[in-house]
Structure 1
Amino acid sequence: MAVNTLPVNSPSSNQDDDEISIIRYRSGKPAARAMITLPRNLITFLLDGEKTVHFAGAQVSVKPYQFVMLAAGNCLISEKLAAPEADYHSILVFFDNKFLSGFFDRHTSLIDRPAKTSDQHPFLLFEKDEFLINFTHSLDSILIGDKPVHPKLQKVKLEELFVYLAVQYPGQIQRIRNMHYEENDDLLIRQAVTSHITNNITVQELAFLCNMSLSTFKRRFARLYGNSPNRWLLEKRMERAAEMLRKSDCKASEIFSELGYENLSSFIQSFKQIYGVTPKQYQLSI
């Protein structure tokens, strides 16, 4: 699976030097799941469709009545159409830490001292109130055709958004300071695998989320768990499956998707690989 860096085609002529880029993204064929590298922080305002983002130790789903801030780094992004004939439509705002530092320096009267907390997240999710709905419309109105938005206007709009968040959501604005992970590699691996046991995510994608090569990820995983990541994930998923089959009257056809499987036959094959019997035979035996 190829790794994409966003923004792919920025209208700015000096993308690397810009603090902020505001662009429109529309697609009739949204990504099922893509490995994305974000050199800068990203705000996504959804207009149509849904988005799911996976980080090493967390994941978030976003709907059109919400918007999300994502920290720079590696993530997996999935997009979903609202209807078969609809487009996936969003407005993307990229901004670097230079803008954040400047904002906090310019508005010390609005922002209390940063809270001392170890609570670190790679994202912040907001629900749109009336102001934020109108703010999204204002971004939509300045993105006309292929003409880039003037850099000064982009900065004014992002400044407006952050000032509003500082006034209305002071707790959230403090968390923006901690919108990243600063963990050691071993902890990052543990977070990644335990957070995605029931997700249909490959070992290659887990390595990407941990910002490691596949070989490095496998080597460090084996040192931590004494097993290969594929085998460890298989065993953990099947342990969960066996628990669900023992404690409820659920059939395999009712739980396979909850365990990250796209079809029933693959789930039955995996279960038999660990327990030597099919899920139905396992239930009958207990």
Structure 2
Amino acid sequence: MDHIAIMRYDSDVVSINARIKLRQNLFSFLLEGQKSVQYIGAPVTINPHQFLLMSAGNCLMSEKIAAAGGRYRSVLFFFDNKILIDFFFRHPQALKTSTHKNNEAPFLVFEKDAFLINFIDSLGFMLALDQPCSAEMRRVKLEELLLYLSEHYPDKIQQLRSFSEEADDDLLIRQAVTDNIYNTVTVEELAFLCNMSLSTFKRRFARIYGTSPNKWLLEKKMQKAAQLLKQGECKASEIYFELGYENLSSFIQSFKQVHGITPKQYQLSN
């Protein structure tokens, strides 16, 4: 695997929650369509006026086409953590002390400005050449980008230091489940985000919470549902989606499983 790689990615197929194992960090320069990425507790969606820097690791990725007849188009710029270490070693000013609290999300979102638009165009011209660009040229282009970002987004660039840090497994599981209680994410997808097999995830989850992931998530959702219904301002048809259910009948069935009565009966009794 190259330490630095640049490629073009075009598709006319919609992709929802594809399981992606990023072995390198990635600048994703979106040209057309919409991109959504879900790390543990950290969802993000970008449009073509933005681009994304993603850390190596597991994520769920969705790619949508903007309109009928359109396409999903992007330029992808992969690089190793060792490249970052070398960059920060040679440019210590990029790590100057910041007065702002760093965001610990495993991604950074940038808005495209005139310089960055021209930079992305230059990558497109390089990819259009008959000969593949050399390793040295790829390194120069990444250096150019990192230097520009460190000068114009100093607070964000410092967050790159935490991209290679490994999280404690128990903390990872706690964050994954608590941040996704009301999202339409399956237990299998949570295990994937934690970079664990399903059986390992379930075993460690049971050790932490004393129950299964499905039961724990169900009870938490239904506690929230009961709270909302008890307030009397919302109907079941108005809250099922925000609790992570795609249809009302599934929500009613789950509510009855936990509380023994339907949401409507629960509201009337309270």
TM-score (norm 1): 0.86
Report the CA distance between 1:45 and its aligned residue: 1.0
Aligned to 1:143, the other structure's residue is in SS state helix
Which of 228, 236, 244 is equivalent to 1:260?
244
> Which aligned pairs between 1:29-178 and structure 2 lie closer than 5 A?
29-112=13-96, 120-144=104-128, 148-178=132-162
Distance 1:172 1:269, change over 3 A: same
Answer yes or no: is the 8 Å Cα contact 2:102–2:156 preserved in 1.
Answer: no
Residues in 1 aligned to 2:72 and 2:118: alpha-carbon distance in whole angstroms: 20
Distance 1:169 1:163, change over 3 A: same
**Counterpart residue identity of residue 150, structure 1:** S
Unaligned runs of 5+ in 1: 1-15
Report the CA distance between 1:95 and its aligned residue: 0.3
Percent pairwise identity:
58
1:209 aligns with 2:188: no
Aligned to 1:179, the other structure's residue is in SS state helix
Residues in 1 aligned to 2:248 and 2:30: alpha-carbon distance in whole angstroms: 33
TM-score (norm 2): 0.91
1:270 aligns with 2:268: no
- Structure 1 residues 178-201: Cα deviation after superposition (integer angstroms, max 9, x where no partner): 124532111111000001111111
Answer yes or no: is the 8 Å Cα contact 1:121–1:178 preserved in 2.
Answer: no
Say which is worse superposed, 187-196 or 261-270, in terms of deviation. Answer: 261-270
Answer yes or no: is the 8 Å Cα contact 1:42–1:94 preserved in 2.
Answer: yes
- Structure 1 residues 124-147: Cα deviation after superposition (integer angstroms, max 9, x where no partner): 121222222222222233322886
**Counterpart residue identity of residue 262, structure 2:** T
Report the CA distance between 1:44 and its aligned residue: 0.7
Which of 186, 207, 216 is equivalent to 1:223?
207
Aligned to 1:33, the other structure's residue is in SS state strand
Distance 1:39 1:146, change over 3 A: farther
Distance 1:248 1:151, change over 3 A: farther
Residues in 2 aligned to 1:131 and 1:266: alpha-carbon distance in whole angstroms: 49
Residues in 2 aligned to 1:284 and 1:179: alpha-carbon distance in whole angstroms: 50
Aligned twin of 1:10:
none
Q: What is the count of residue pairs matched by the alignment?
A: 270
Aligned twin of 1:12:
none
Which of 203, 213, 217 is equivalent to 1:233?
217
Aligned twin of 1:193:
177
Unaligned runs of 5+ in 2: none
Aligned to 1:35, the other structure's residue is in SS state strand
